[in-house]
A and B are shown apart, each in its own frame.
Chain A
């Protein structure tokens, strides 16, 4: 089975993002970029399926500017076999990404597609579900456990009340939650080897996909600031303030 994994280049999760002075977006110049953490989990899951003999080949797909190649290289260094870069400098929204992914899927014919449940930049949480819709495939989102047996996948999902298990037909879409696995670090030899692995470049125009954004960002602003409060001396003072000042207990 071939596994396709989507990887997105985002501002590193440790970076404190700053809104641009002109309110057109957030500052990305000279900011550390990394693979979306949920996508690292997706790559790791694919590698584990390969190690278990369930998957034969792992293809890492990324979309965006040339620098997304670095994100694909990270996936290759972790253990993916080859990459596909859909190169564009245009803004790509989730529906456009899902359409581009569908075009890649039509060509690659994978048996399983794993994506992160959401990217930590736009926090949309949409692409996996949208891709499943476009393909007419079943979806298992927010996965914390994936077991593949023959033409079915049994997936445990993190839901509001706890955990839920569903069974879906293959081929299918899985989106990862935090506790699916702990992604490995790429070793230095594997980072060197990854430089030789192939990355195929495509463009949305070649693929005949309309990627025009449906949402226009009017402005991006700082959220309202919270004022830091007071440090209390002891528990008795805390209880007194909560009761008599804040009136919340």
Chain B
């Protein structure tokens, strides 16, 4: 049987999160089809057709899907799901909103944020903020799953030559409408795809001090993140949050500045390859997961870091 991957996009670009899910689909076996549902999204369909391993791209181009509202999206996916053994989507806020709705319409369970495919019906997923890993077996005919991107490599965005097929829209129940978006604008990489991240916590004391981290970020080509404490205190917007209920990241280098390391924050970053912690409290739990710890006042250490990086030409 084939596997359907629900793509993540903004009607203009295919988001990288989709590539990780294609890799997950490969592990399941069978033909891989990708759904691109949006408005004016033909370019995304073409991009999806080039992804290595994709056999077919289904494009549903209709005003109802422009903002990926859960109600019309779930109806569309429900109508397609019967042809597949599994329907996969990245564990983004968009798919987390839509996929459980699809599962309930199909009367099947959803398996959330899988990190490993053991077999076609058995998967590993984190529970308790990643403090335990559960291996679960599904008895449903159709497996509805979201995928934790950090656990799977990205499929190559080029090299494929899938068939692109237009499919009919499934209508709009007309019970929800889009009003507006306030998206953070940044020249820096997105948190979930950045190879280097520098995050600030409560120790930053104020949002006015985040430019200090941004200057380091610009030297390292990094994204800027934050702990929940920093977001709750209003230092930075919600989309900076790394943790159990924010974004899950696994960059090559994660620099935690003024972050104590609550388990909810560790849940979001402990799979990073190299972790650096800068904190003046040597007892802070963040040091237990850090590869390199610096016990220091961040207001002294971060400017020094900027100077040292300049010395090596960054």
- Which residues of B (69-119) have their CB < 8 Å from a CB of A? 69-71, 74, 92-94, 96-105, 107-113
Q: For window 275-314 of chain B, which residues contact chain A by CB distance below 8 Å?
A: 275-276, 282, 287-296, 301, 304-305, 308-309, 311-312, 314
Most buried by A among B127, B129, B138, B289: B127
> What A residues does B276 contact at CB under 8 A?
238, 242
Cβ contacts under 8 Å, A220 to chain B: 127, 132-135
Judged by a CB distance under 8 angstroms, whether A196 is at the interface is no
| A168:B175 contact, CB within 8 angstroms | yes
From B70, B196, B294, B311, residue with most partner A Cβ within 10 Å: B70
Task: Tell me if A74 is interfacial: C-beta within 8 Å of chain B.
Answer: no
Q: Is B139 a contact partner of A216 (Cβ separation < 8 A)?
A: yes
In the complex, B163 has a CB within 8 A of chain A = no
Q: Judging by beta carbons under 8 Å apart, are B71 and A139 in contact?
A: yes
Q: A161-B239, A162-B239, A215-B136 are contacts. A246–B291 as well, Cβ < 8 Å?
A: yes
Q: Which of A195-224 contact B (CB under 8 A)?
A: 214-223
Interface pair A133/B264, CB less than 8 Å apart:
no
Q: Contact at B239–A158, with CB atoms within 8 Å?
A: yes
Q: Is the CB of A229 within 8 A of B291?
A: yes
A149 nearest CB across to chain B (Å): 13
Q: Given A94-B110, A235-B308, A249-B309, are A169 and B175 neighbors across the interface (CB < 8 Å)? A: yes
Binding stretch for chain A, among B33-41, B153-161, B245-253: B245-253
Residues of B in contact (CB 8 Å), total 92
CB contact between B130 and one of A162, A223, A231 (< 8 Å): that residue: A223
Is A161 a contact partner of B132 (Cβ separation < 8 A)?
no
- Is A214 touching B131 in the complex (CB atoms < 8 A)? no
Cβ of B140 and Cβ of A231 under 8 Å apart?
Answer: no
Quick one: which of A95, A125, A169 has the most chain B CB within 10 A?
Answer: A125
- Using a CB–CB cutoff of 8 Å, the interface residues on chain B facing chain A are 67, 69-71, 74, 92-94, 96-105, 107-113, 122, 126-140, 173, 175-184, 192, 196, 220, 228, 231-232, 237-239, 244-245, 247, 252-253, 263-264, 270, 273-276, 282, 287-296, 301, 304-305, 308-309, 311-312, 314
Other than the known A138-B173, A214-B109, what 19 A-B pairs have Cβ atoms closer than 8 Å?
A16-B131, A16-B263, A123-B244, A126-B100, A131-B104, A132-B70, A133-B74, A139-B97, A141-B97, A158-B93, A163-B237, A166-B176, A166-B177, A214-B139, A215-B139, A216-B137, A218-B137, A238-B308, A246-B253
Task: Name 7 A/B residue pairs within 8 A (Cβ), A-sorted.
Answer: A95-B109, A142-B93, A144-B238, A160-B247, A179-B232, A235-B308, A249-B196
Write the residues of chain A forming the contact surface with B, with a CB cutoff of 8 angstroms. 11, 13, 16-17, 19, 26, 38, 93-95, 98, 117-118, 120-134, 136-139, 141-142, 144, 154, 157-169, 177-179, 214-223, 226, 228-232, 234-236, 238-239, 241-243, 246, 248-249
